[in-house]
Structure 1
Amino acid sequence: MTRANPPSAVDLEAQGITLDQQIPAHAVIRDVPLIGTTENVTLTTTLLAPPNGVAERGVVLFTPGFTSSQATFYPIMGFLAERGYRCITFSQRGQPGSSGPSHPEDYPLSALGNDIIVLLDELGFASTPVHLLGHSFGGVVATEAILTHPTQFASLTLWNSGPKKMDDDFAGLIKALHTQGPRALWVKDRTDAGLDPDADLNGTLNNIEQYYFDRLMATNPAQLEAALTILATQQDRTEALAEIRTETGLPVLISHGAQDDAWPIEWQREMAQALNAEYWVIANAGHSAHADRSYISAQLLATFWDTAL
């Protein structure tokens, strides 16, 4: 008889268990000041070591995407720790739990990428090759870190993340953000999904919806505007990544859910081909494959990292 996989993040949410409540046992949350950043940024960080008796195979740093936080990776961290990977996840500057400047110009892509380097230094991994994963917008930031410090990393995974700017109405979103605040993004997403955009005002959100609403509202508006601006002007850096691959042999994985609806899947596939990278499509998963297929995602990632050692 085939043994069923453990429940995914989506399965647990259906039971009313929010992402932050899915934090693995023995995980440690730390606020890490980034010494040397002119904005005096402090990042909230969650660390999980392999359990006793499991040999450590490597260190992984997860970079969250737009309107996200460190908790988005909780559903896969426990599985990866069991495979021997020390896991680190964090909220980017301005995301929930992390401090951030009040002006969008203090969130340039160069600073976001450098935050990754400084964070690893502060955590004691400056001389340790780290497997870097970036989800969605986090992939844009991870690419920046790789291009500026390629020898810091053992591999790069672009997880449901594309190579260049999409055709979304980023200018309209930024305008709405200016006039209505972060809630404007919530209203748009709810309207697009055919859901009541005013459920937060009516007090009819369930606890899972409330979690995502609160997460958005806890994000610094300057960070949201800066991220939208970066996405609106995203340049294709595939050629630069290919040069890094040629020079260093850096292993690269491009992976997305089969139903990913952010960057066009064709773009992600073409990027993988141009990089001669590993390319995996996760069935029955959307833009957040780690939430839709948590156990499968973790096993696939561990398999890639095992071969990238």
Structure 2
Amino acid sequence: MTVNLSRLEISRGELSYFEATPDAEVKGTVVMVPGFTGSREDFLPMAPFVTAAGYRLISYSQLGQYDSDGPDGRDAVGEYTIAKFALDLAEVLDKVAPGEKVHLVGHSFGGLVTRAAVLNDPSRFLDYVILDSPPSGQTVGTAVDITQIPELLWAGGNEALWTAMFGTLEEMFPAPVKEFLRNRIMVTKTANIAGIALTMGAEPDRVDELAATGVPILVAAGADDFVPVDVQIEVAARLGVKFEIIEGAAHTPNEEKPEELTKVLVDFWGEVV
């Protein structure tokens, strides 16, 4: 496996990304999109397993996320919408996999971005995995009310969000992990966090539209996900597709159970192709 950490230019700025390639023949390209306060690093634990299965793996930090460009300040909040992030994804694909159909994975908020991208151009994707993602902004299930996040940020900055989201959970993280997570939130553009909270809160249920695309889909979630698992099971049922539970994982099976999640994905990709 070879891993390259780099940056790519799209019309709205430079984004940080990584590319992991197998040492042997490549079966296809997988693009994974991170969620709220996330980054490309969320999928690095999967790289050894995905490449061992013969796939090229690419993930990037979305505009305004950790180590990517992006405008900041109250006036920039409107730059961080699901619709604009979906257009960014299309540009990323043109850069990293021009003319190639890819396997797509969207995690959490990234699931809403990837859904919009699939609806924009279903022909661009071999298949699509919805990972720990709600069908609408009204079914997020977070402990923090997302509608209150912008005012929380303007009043107390990113530090206030860290305290609200992770303050009671800090002791569960090893020191290096906690340090990385905290630093990541601190350097994420505040407008990105506020904008995502607003666009996510307003996102309607588009499951029926997605079903009409004909793109092969899998829905997967950690057994202890905070996004209600029964809601995600219902999404799979409405789509008429398989739902996979990742035991021993919560909201981030890509980090908690990367080998187990990869096996589920590889089995799905094998069925599609």
TM bucket normalised to smaller: over 0.9
Change (3 A) 1:191 1:214: closer
- Structure 1 stretches of 5 or more lacking a match? 1-24, 197-204
Cα distance in 2, alignment partners of residues 65 and 91 from structure 1: 9
Structure-2-length-normalised TM-score: 0.93
Deviation string for 1:188-247 (max 9, x for gaps)? 123443869xxxxxxxx92221111001111001110111112211210001001112xx
Q: For residue 36 of structure 2, what is the amino acid of its counterpart?
A: F
Deviation string for 1:262-307 (max 9, x for gaps)? x211110000001011210111110101212111111111111122
Structure-1-length-normalised TM-score: 0.82
Cα distance in 1, alignment partners of residues 18 and 169 from structure 2: 31
Q: Is the 8 A contact 1:42 1:98 kept in 2?
A: yes
Q: Is the 8 A contact 2:170 2:178 kept in 1?
A: no
Count of aligned positions? 265
Alignment counterpart, residue 258 of structure 1, candidates 200, 211, 223: 223
Cα distance in 2, alignment partners of residues 179 and 276 from structure 1: 44
Q: For residue 85 of structure 2, what is the amino acid of its counterpart?
A: L
Deviation string for 1:25-78 (max 9, x for gaps)? 6201121011xx3xx321111001111xx2211110000011111001000111
User: Which secondary structure state, in structure 1, belongs to the residue aligned with residue 199 of structure 2?
Assistant: helix
- Report the counterpart of residue 298 of structure 1 in structure 2: 262
Q: For residue 84 of structure 2, what is the amino acid of its counterpart?
A: A
Cα distance in 1, alignment partners of residues 207 and 29 from structure 2: 25
Is it true that 1:126 corresponds to 2:98 in the alignment? Answer: yes
- Report the counterpart of residue 209 of structure 1 in structure 2: 178
Alignment counterpart, residue 137 of structure 1, candidates 89, 109, 134: 109
Alignment counterpart, residue 131 of structure 2, candidates 150, 159, 162: 159
- Structure 2 stretches of 5 or more lacking a match? none
Which protein is bigger by CA-based radius of gyration?
1
- Report the counterpart of residue 146 of structure 2 in structure 1: 170
Q: Is the 8 A contact 2:2 2:22 kept in 1?
A: no
| Identity across the alignment (%) | 28
Change (3 A) 1:194 1:212: closer
Cα distance in 2, alignment partners of residues 189 and 57 from structure 1: 39
Indicate the structure with greater helix content: 2
Cα distance in 2, alignment partners of residues 195 and 304 from structure 1: 36
Deviation string for 1:127-159 (max 9, x for gaps)? 111011000000010001100011000111001
User: Which secondary structure state, in structure 2, belongs to the residue aligned with residue 181 of structure 1?
Assistant: helix
- Report the counterpart of residue 114 of structure 1 in structure 2: 87
Is it true that 1:281 corresponds to 2:253 in the alignment? Answer: no
TM-fit CA distance, 1:257 = 0.7
TM-fit CA distance, 1:162 = 1.3
User: Which secondary structure state, in structure 1, belongs to the residue aligned with residue 6 of structure 2?
Assistant: strand
Write out the 4+ residue segments of structure 1 that deviate beyond 3 Å after TM superposition: 190-196
- Report the counterpart of residue 73 of structure 1 in structure 2: 43
User: Which secondary structure state, in structure 2, belongs to the residue aligned with residue 286 of structure 1?
Assistant: coil
Cα distance in 1, alignment partners of residues 147 and 132 from structure 2: 23
Alignment counterpart, residue 267 of structure 1, candidates 231, 235, 238: 231
State the superposition RMSD in angstroms. 1.6
Higher mean Cα deviation, 144-153 or 290-299?
Answer: 290-299
Q: Is the 8 A contact 1:133 1:139 kept in 2?
A: yes
Q: Is the 8 A contact 1:126 1:152 kept in 2?
A: no
User: Which secondary structure state, in structure 2, belongs to the residue aligned with residue 27 of structure 1?
Assistant: strand
- Report the counterpart of residue 85 of structure 1 in structure 2: 55
- Report the counterpart of residue 10 of structure 1 in structure 2: none
- Report the counterpart of residue 71 of structure 2 in structure 1: 101
